Chain A
Amino acid sequence: DGGITQSPKYLFRKEGQNVTLSCEQNLNHDAMYWYRQDPGQGLRLIYYSQIVNDFQKGDIAEGYSVSREKKESFPLTVTSAQKNPTAFYLCASSIRRGSDTQYFGPGTRLTVL
């Protein structure tokens, strides 16, 4: 079955530690995205990638980093510089950049203690 997987579902980290969230897709989509969701707010774009070895900052990139070494994978690192990292993180992909429907993974809930 084709789809987007994110792991783990729940993640706990101590303040000051970097943490990497996994996102893998086998849909053969070119574009991938990372969003953050907080209660009472819309999804906010952190980073996006239109093609392998290329990525761009979204609206709230500070304190985050990404890589796109393979078409299938787009990991997100939440660094200690992110002031408010506790949130629900969603990865998405689309066939091409921006112009197509985005399909979402199941999400990772990160709690920083």
Chain B
Amino acid sequence: GQNIDQPTEMTATEGAIVQINCTYQTSGFNGLFWYQQHAGEAPTFLSYNVLDGLEEKGRFSSFLSRSKGYSYLLLKELQMKDSASYLCAVRYQTDSWGKLQFGAGTQVVVTP
């Protein structure tokens, strides 16, 4: 399978910035998604990148470099409610329908 690698846990203080990195195998790449998941709840869609560059959505931004097999999710002005797991998912066009491959998630802990 295609490995999606992201750090297990990151800790930051309220108001700070945190960058969550995600690396993946580039062969067959066809898009990258970031989801936020609070404990015991459904993942919710945050962002989608298919071309190189930065996509900004309020306090959250996502960056993609296809040649390097690298993405990051940037969380600015951290709030306590941002404490959650952040899932990186890559779509691979390995067959006719392009399924998602998920990383294990990065647990972000925001401290006061």
Contact = CB atoms under 8 A, between A and B. Distances in A.
B105 A42 contact: yes
B105 A98 contact: no
Q: How large is the interface on A (under 10, 10 to 19, 20 to 34, 35 or more residues)?
A: 20 to 34
Interface size class of chain B, counting residues whose CB lies under 8 Å from the partner chain = 20 to 34
Nearest to B93: A98
Contact of A98 (B35, B43, B45, B98): B98
A105 interface: yes
A98 B97 contact: yes
Interface of A: 4, 35, 40-45, 48, 50, 58-59, 88, 90, 97-99, 101-107, 109
Contacts of B101: 42
A97 B96 CA distance: 9
